[in-house]
């Protein structure tokens, strides 16, 4: 069994700022509480909320560690009271409220999924945050059904690429927006049916050309002035699902259009939801999506990997907006 040290290397910035505040520091290794697992981290996914936390704009929820990172993969090396003893020594991927940018991390057992042999540990680390988010918002809140058409903004982001792949595996027609012709080409290679260059094209006009009756769902991480334009893209009975607000947290919307089209506006955040909710979501994913992961039909799109000590460079790459898919930190 792995010898567990008392201290570990982690990324836990002392103050907000640019990527340069991300220095490796020494922190105590936490002990798992009831129903929790201690995981020797192999890799950790980098996500947009990590950038916001680094900048001081998205503090961790109460009780979560200040160490960055919302998803990881690794080996279970210790069990909290009541945790299933069969998990000891098993490779898992985990959704956490913080703490993934470290050599060891604690995760609720209910937020962990076994890593199938078809996935590397880097691939596994790139899955939980995007998979939980896309499934809940596209299929539960958005009620996506086979044969429907979806518009996804940010089609080459981690969320966007997962939405493309999961959507296509579920019988959806996927329209995405992306910035620039090269990114649009990559989105099509990944599996999108249509890719719209939002820099050079009016996405509303392009959606109406592609789907004259409108799309059934918009998965929106942009917010702000995109929201009323998104409503123009929706068909009758369409669903608008907000998951981020990169262009602003407020929008002016035409209420009469919502009434005429009988639209549904919804959205969610994931990090602050309780363990019971996330465990229920994990259980659903194990039954619906894990088989796709196990037989290799679904894999995350990996953009690049960086050693933990170079977390600053990983954030610089995300800040530059040049990535396609997921950026991952490795502990080896």
What residues does each domain of the chain span? 7-127+271-330, 130-267
pLDDT score of 264: 98
User: How far is residue 43's CA from residue 310's CA, in Å, rounded to a whole number?
Assistant: 13
Q: What is the pTM of this model?
A: 0.95
Q: Compute how many other C-beta atoms are within 10 angstroms of the C-beta atom of residue 237.
A: 12
pLDDT score of 1: 52
Ordered per-residue pLDDT tens for the chain, 332 residues? 568 999 999 999 999 999 999 999 999 999 999 999 999 999 999 999 999 999 999 999 999 999 999 999 999 999 999 999 999 999 999 999 999 999 999 999 999 999 999 999 999 999 999 999 999 999 999 999 999 999 999 999 999 999 999 999 999 999 999 999 999 999 999 999 999 999 999 999 999 999 999 999 999 999 999 999 999 999 999 999 999 999 999 999 999 999 999 999 999 999 999 999 999 999 999 999 999 999 999 999 999 999 999 999 999 999 999 999 999 999 97
Cα–Cα distances in angstroms (integers) from residue 239 to residues 201, 234, 261, 308, in the given order: 23, 7, 10, 39
Written as six digits, the tokens of 26 are 């020494």
CATH topology of domain 7-127+271-330: Quinone Oxidoreductase; Chain A, domain 1 (3.90.180)
User: How far is residue 4's CA from residue 332's CA, in Å, rounded to a whole number?
Assistant: 16
Q: Which CATH number fits the domain 130-267, given the four candidates 3.40.1160.10, 3.40.640.10, 3.40.50.720, 2.60.120.10?
A: 3.40.50.720
pLDDT score of 85: 95
| Cα–Cα nearest to 281, from 159, 166, 165, 112 | 112
In a 13 Å sphere around the CA of 57, the CA atoms on its Cβ side amount to 10
Strand ranges of the sheet holding 264-267, from the earlier edge strand across to the other edge: 194-197, 173-178, 149-152, 215-220, 234-242, 264-267
Let me know: does 191 contact 165? Beta carbons within 8 Å: yes
In CATH terms, are 7-127+271-330 and 130-267 the same topology? no
Written as six digits, the tokens of 144 are 């996506």
| Cα–Cα nearest to 53, from 91, 8, 100, 113 | 100
């Amino acid at each position: 069994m792995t010898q567990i040290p008392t201290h570990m290397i982690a990324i836990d910035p002392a103050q907000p700022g640019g990527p340069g505040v991300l220095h490796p520091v020494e922190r105590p290794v936490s002990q798992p509480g009831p129903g929790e697992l201690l995981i020797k981290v192999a890799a950790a996914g980098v996500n947009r909320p990590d950038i916001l936390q680094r900048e001081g704009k998205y503090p961790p929820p109460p009780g979560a560690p200040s160490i960055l990172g919302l998803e990881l993969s690794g080996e279970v090396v210790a069990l909290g009271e009541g945790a299933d003893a069969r998990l000891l020594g098993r490779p898992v991927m985990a959704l956490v409220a913080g703490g993934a940018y470290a050599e060891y991390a604690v995760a609720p057992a209910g937020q962990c999924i076994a890593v199938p042999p078809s996935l590397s540990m880097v691939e596994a680390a790139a899955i939980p945050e995007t998979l939980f988010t896309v499934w809940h918002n596209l299929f539960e809140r958005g009620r996506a059904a086979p044969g429907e058409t979806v518009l996804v903004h940010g089609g080459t982001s981690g969320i966007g690429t997962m939405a493309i792949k999961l959507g296509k595996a579920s019988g959806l027609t996927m329209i995405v927006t992306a910035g620039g012709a090269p990114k649009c080409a990559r989105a099509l290679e990944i599996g999108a049916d249509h890719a719209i260059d939002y820099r050079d094209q009016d996405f509303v006009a392009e959606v109406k050309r592609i789907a004259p009756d409108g799309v059934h769902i918009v998965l929106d991480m942009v917010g702000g002035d995109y929201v009323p334009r998104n409503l123009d893209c929706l068909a009758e009975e369409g669903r608008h699902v907000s998951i981020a607000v990169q262009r602003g947290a407020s929008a002016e919307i035409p209420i009469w259009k919502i009434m005429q089209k009988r639209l549904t506006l919804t959205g969610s955040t994931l990090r602050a939801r309780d363990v019971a909710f996330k465990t229920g979501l994990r259980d659903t994913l194990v039954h619906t999506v894990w088989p796709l992961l196990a037989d290799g039909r679904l894999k995350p799109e990996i953009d690049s990997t960086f050693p933990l000590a170079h977390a600053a460079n990983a954030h610089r790459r995300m800040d530059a907006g040049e990535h396609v898919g997921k950026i991952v930190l490795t502990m080896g």
